[in-house]
Amino acid sequence: MRRIAFINEKGGSCKTTLAVNTAAWLASRRDARVLLCDLDTQGHAGKSLGVDVRGLRPTIADLLCDPAVQVNEIVRRTPIAGLDLLPANKDMGRFPLEVAARADRDRLLQRKLADLAGYDYVIFDAPPSMGLVTTNIMLAAEEIVIPVAMTYFALDGCAEILETVEWVRDRFDHPSLRVAMVVPTLYRKTALATEILERLRERFPEEICRTVLGFNVQIDEAQSHGQTIWEYAPQSRGAAMLEDIARELVARAPASARRAAHGSA
């Protein structure tokens, strides 16, 4: 089971777009069993799948705050076969306050998912900030995908995420945590965007994704209809870019995952 988190502390990086569409591609095009965990108070992952998360209970906040609540009480099916959701909404905002005094507050998500079975992938959509929620995600995940919008402060934000990954690895003895891929997003053919892209390639020669996610109106339209690109415009340029990114992420499986897949084949 691969556990992959899409993380960027800045909003507007296409983090949710990549998390949701990658999860949907794995389920619909690779026949994988996928659990998508939304940990953002905006609940955009659920909304992108046509799930009305406003006022929804229980949510992933209940799973993390209440020791008695189990994963199977929170999981919801989505319109995409093979893709399940742990939904979030504004109620997630209570999590840091309610668990602040708990000694195990950093590992709550990891422990709740420790006995999870029946899935090939667990995909985490992180909030656009660093803090207790993101630490929980990093401890529950093993692979990090960093979407980086082609903007002036993008490189600074990416460097800060790398520092946090190293801190979590060392502080919590989580050596398997690694940056699997850095994905350039929202690219337009401008001098500034091209310069940022080249600097990313220089800084992350191994991690940089070969596919650059450019602006695409059909991706935005799909989200506005509560659909993935595979449902809304499967033959579009946006779908082609997102599929290439998902394929590359699959190919970047750690050695342990490749051995497990080979053994089950």
**Chain centre distance of CA 39:** 9
Dihedral, CA of residue 237, residue 240, residue 242 and residue 247, to nearest 10: -170
Q: What is the pLDDT of residue 50?
A: 93
Mean pLDDT over 30-51 rounds to: 95
Classify strands 178-187 and 34-38 as parallel, antiparallel or unpaired: unpaired
Question: For residue range 84-120, what is the model confidence (pLDDT) as tens digits?
Answer: 999 999 999 999 999 999 999 999 999 999 999 999 9
Model pLDDT, residue 153? 74
- In DSSP terms, 179 is beta-bridged to 144
Mean of the pLDDT values across residues 144-155? 86
The pTM score is 0.93
Confidence check: pLDDT of 252 > 50: yes
Which are the contacts of 95, defined by CB distance < 8 A and separation ≥ 6? 61, 64, 65, 132, 133
Residue 120's φ and ψ, nearest 5 degrees, are -90, -30
pLDDT at 265: 47
Confidence at 243, pLDDT banded by 50, 70, 90: very high
* Average pLDDT value for residue range 120-128: 95
User: In this structure, are residues 145 and 180 in contact, taking their beta carbons and an 8 Å threshold?
Assistant: yes
Please give the Cα distance from 39 to 136 (Å, whole number): 10
pLDDT at 152: 74
3-class SS at 132?
helix
Nearest Cα residue to 110 out of 56, 172, 165: 172
Count of beta carbons in the 10 Å neighbourhood of residue 60: 28
| Span 159-201, pLDDT tens digits | 888 889 999 999 999 999 999 999 999 888 899 889 989 988 9
Q: pLDDT at position 258, please?
A: 55
Read off the pLDDT of residues 41-92 as tens digits, 9 standing for 90 and up.
999 999 999 999 998 999 999 999 999 999 999 999 999 999 999 999 999 9
pLDDT given for residue 49 in this prediction: 95
Tokens standing for residue 193:
């965007």
The C-alpha atoms of residue 247 and residue 62 are separated, in whole angstroms, by: 34
Helix ranges restricted to H, 3-49? 15-29, 44-48
